[in-house]
Structure 1
């Protein structure tokens, strides 16, 4: 529960409308619809159109292009969470006979399998999927690999087509039907479909040097569908943004959704602006790290981005092949909303119950001579942080066996244990073999390598 108002302030709404009005006019896009999601709810939507009085509503479908990949990734991770595959499995274990047999599922999800970015000619986005009737038609038999697997990020549309085929193989039915039953229906996304359903926008190309337009073909891309086939609406994508922010146990646990947005391949530069997780893009925008995805198909561009720290998401959809920078538009919607209405922090509240033994563990601990502070949080969680300066810290989740598991930073996945002396008193903490003691290098019998018997002394 928060004190955040249900609606945006008039000044915020005006700033957002001005932003998309400028974007539609300057990019010369036939129509543009956009929205802001806050704390899981669509709190603002706006639209601009070349035809007065005919701006698209939040229920009008647009093609969302590669945002489709986020849905495919969720289907694959559902299979992983059910134990039907491992992310380290080579694709050929489940879907043999493709040029990507040796690529792992994780590498395909993260675009690090090293395979080609596109299919063999003709360009798949503007041609009927019947031209590529078999999985072997999606990649060149020779030369499908452009880089060593797992070494670098190389975006691959055919890679996601193969992941869609993997879902079909393990579920025994078309990936679109699996998506409808396992994801769209549970989330109430009944306006997200493989093919357009009325009302939907038509896609156009706008001439680069003249204010004239050309209709784009609305193709069914067949086997390439998982790479960019889906159509959706602002209303449905607001639900999708809420899901990507918090998860939903009916579809995918919050912990697995969080796994999707962790970078899977190291960025190429220290001051990175773009990275990729397991089906989600990450980008920096004006000091924020956003996650989500961009999308484009002939006649359409789309952007959906989420800011975890602000509990905000921005969505923008256009029906022009080029021009409208929907990723930038959606990102700026987050920036504008956060600037006008910064997130209110949750009020501090004391714990509802206290375990005296855990309370006794709090306070200063020492790793060698480095002071650390251990704090008790809700649900028996612990938080370790350096007392001064830089150092290693982490949050820890309580486990049923009396240990804790690190959730982030250096100690992510590592186990924290309380070690007791023969008389039952706490001797020290063991953190992945590191020993934390109540005094610097003491007690001596707990410190790896021992302690000089003369103890601390002046020189």
Structure 2
């Protein structure tokens, strides 16, 4: 995400601050901080507070609750990329003795393992982690409520298991792995397990009166990988850039993109949402947002990234309920994306013309369906329907020849050129589908052959 346009227009900045002011006022939050990233840079931050002259800034810590899960998921994906585990591995392979070892790493990451949403009483968010000293205490007597892999069921204990998995495979504590593998490489110096001043205090606001009560801030112990962290708007903006672009010091861009892919279909009542591998997915205002929401007593938080727009937003507040940080963060993205839409990259010709590839471009026919094949960067190709509905896809060139599908129906399928004995092109083969230069030519390699009578009228 690069651009020569860094500063926002004054009208855009006012609209952003107005949205934060409305959120703080209507949500009755003691304080509210918002921030926006555009094209890899933090371009705006603003805040409102109930105390005149004492508004927080982008360096003030708030507790971010379940946003912590994204960090835990990144640690797990690093283990996968290093070959230390596979996402299809059963938990038992790396963390034996839990009693739920048949569930897979991928199912835990995507909340499809069928585990209970919460640990047994008392409520873990308002009680010290010492009350749950073992995984058995976190999981309880009935940890599995649904068939594994069948659907999405959000689970905080599932991320406790993932934190313990990281410790078992890496051989260090979750906190040490987090600090050395994510926080330090990305420069997130204000993201910590315990609060470090300046930080906001957590408050409960009375539902029927404008009075407040301080909320406890417990150390969650084993549950820390599900919701322990404190962070700032500035640090979360830097983390948002990582979620959009990747960083080879932490995770490659391809792995981060994999995390953004839906892991299981969303429930029918949540058709605009979904979950990848550690990140929430939301369809709102015509755009796809990825990130996570978070809450713990006294705090609510949200980070959303629109990769297509090159815009991300953070919203943080220190109230148990009321401020709708998920809605506000989405609105901050929308305000910037609509007021100052992203400039497309300039068209540029390919660096070289490959005559052999050029000869493959143009119309192809799968039966009577008409498709067009065009070249893309780095010897890739794009197959698109020329009329009506059809299965289009982008393809990446393979070192050994041919291409592999990147999206849609043909994701993972191989496209290859089939040549005749004289070296001329006979047809394209795409996962056994035959694409020919003409529809049903008798001499072409059409599966099942072509009727000898040829084309005819009524």
TM-score bracket relative to the smaller structure: over 0.9
State whether residues 427 and 443 of structure 1, in contact with CA within 8 Å, keep that contact through their aligned partners in structure 2: no
Aligned to 2:56: 56
SS of alignment partner, residue 283 of structure 1: strand
Aligned-pair distance for 1:4?
5.0
The yes-or-no answer on 1:252 pairing with 2:243 is no
Aligned-pair distance for 1:414?
0.6
Deviates more, 1:157-166 or 1:349-358: 349-358
Which aligned pairs between 1:209-358 and structure 2 lie closer than 5 A?
209-269=208-268, 272-358=271-357
Question: Distance between the aligned counterparts of 1:364 and 1:251, measured in 2?
Answer: 42
Aligned to 2:202: 203
Question: Distance between the aligned counterparts of 1:170 and 1:271, measured in 2?
Answer: 35
SS of alignment partner, residue 282 of structure 2: strand
SS of alignment partner, residue 303 of structure 2: strand
State whether residues 437 and 443 of structure 1, in contact with CA within 8 Å, keep that contact through their aligned partners in structure 2: no
Deviations 1:180-214 (A, max 9, x none): 11111111111111111121111111111111111
State whether residues 33 and 57 of structure 2, in contact with CA within 8 Å, keep that contact through their aligned partners in structure 1: yes
Aligned to 1:387: 386
Deviations 1:261-285 (A, max 9, x none): 1111112239812111111111122
Please tell me the root mean square deviation across aligned C-alpha atoms, in Å: 1.4
Deviations 1:79-103 (A, max 9, x none): 1111111111111111111132111
Aligned-pair distance for 1:111?
0.7
Question: Distance between the aligned counterparts of 1:89 and 1:2, measured in 2?
Answer: 38
Which aligned pairs between 1:57-76 and structure 2 lie closer than 5 A?
57-76=57-76
State whether residues 3 and 39 of structure 2, in contact with CA within 8 Å, keep that contact through their aligned partners in structure 1: no
Aligned-pair distance for 1:455?
2.8
TM-score norm. by structure 2 comes to 0.97
Question: Distance between the aligned counterparts of 2:301 and 2:286, measured in 1?
Answer: 22
State whether residues 138 and 157 of structure 2, in contact with CA within 8 Å, keep that contact through their aligned partners in structure 1: yes
Aligned-pair distance for 1:245?
0.7
Q: 1:2 to 1:174 in 2, by over 3 A?
A: closer
Aligned-pair distance for 1:443?
5.9
TM-score norm. by structure 1 comes to 0.97
Question: Distance between the aligned counterparts of 2:270 and 2:224, measured in 1?
Answer: 34
Deviations 1:299-325 (A, max 9, x none): 110000011221111110111111111
Question: Distance between the aligned counterparts of 1:271 and 1:445, measured in 2?
Answer: 48
Which aligned pairs between 1:108-257 and structure 2 lie closer than 5 A?
108-141=108-141, 143-257=142-256
Aligned to 1:427: 426
Question: Distance between the aligned counterparts of 2:263 and 2:243, measured in 1?
Answer: 17
Question: Distance between the aligned counterparts of 2:57 and 2:363, measured in 1?
Answer: 57
Structure 1 residue runs of 5 or longer lacking an equivalent are none
Question: Distance between the aligned counterparts of 2:2 and 2:314, measured in 1?
Answer: 23
State whether residues 2 and 346 of structure 1, in contact with CA within 8 Å, keep that contact through their aligned partners in structure 2: no
Q: 1:331 to 1:420 in 2, by over 3 A?
A: same
Deviations 1:426-449 (A, max 9, x none): 111111111111111236452211
Structure 2 residue runs of 5 or longer lacking an equivalent are none
State whether residues 195 and 231 of structure 1, in contact with CA within 8 Å, keep that contact through their aligned partners in structure 2: yes
Question: Distance between the aligned counterparts of 2:275 and 2:366, measured in 1?
Answer: 35
Aligned-pair distance for 1:456?
2.7
Aligned-pair distance for 1:424?
0.9
Moved over 6 A (4+): none
State whether residues 4 and 344 of structure 1, in contact with CA within 8 Å, keep that contact through their aligned partners in structure 2: no
Deviations 1:1-31 (A, max 9, x none): 8655211000000000011001101111111
Question: Distance between the aligned counterparts of 1:57 and 1:20, measured in 2?
Answer: 13
Question: Distance between the aligned counterparts of 1:404 and 1:440, measured in 2?
Answer: 23
Q: 1:442 to 1:185 in 2, by over 3 A?
A: farther
Question: Distance between the aligned counterparts of 2:136 and 2:97, measured in 1?
Answer: 8
Question: Distance between the aligned counterparts of 1:391 and 1:311, measured in 2?
Answer: 29
Question: Distance between the aligned counterparts of 2:334 and 2:63, measured in 1?
Answer: 25
Aligned to 2:30: 30
SS of alignment partner, residue 455 of structure 1: coil
Question: Distance between the aligned counterparts of 1:160 and 1:173, measured in 2?
Answer: 17
Aligned-pair distance for 1:425?
1.2
Aligned to 2:435: 436
SS of alignment partner, residue 139 of structure 2: coil
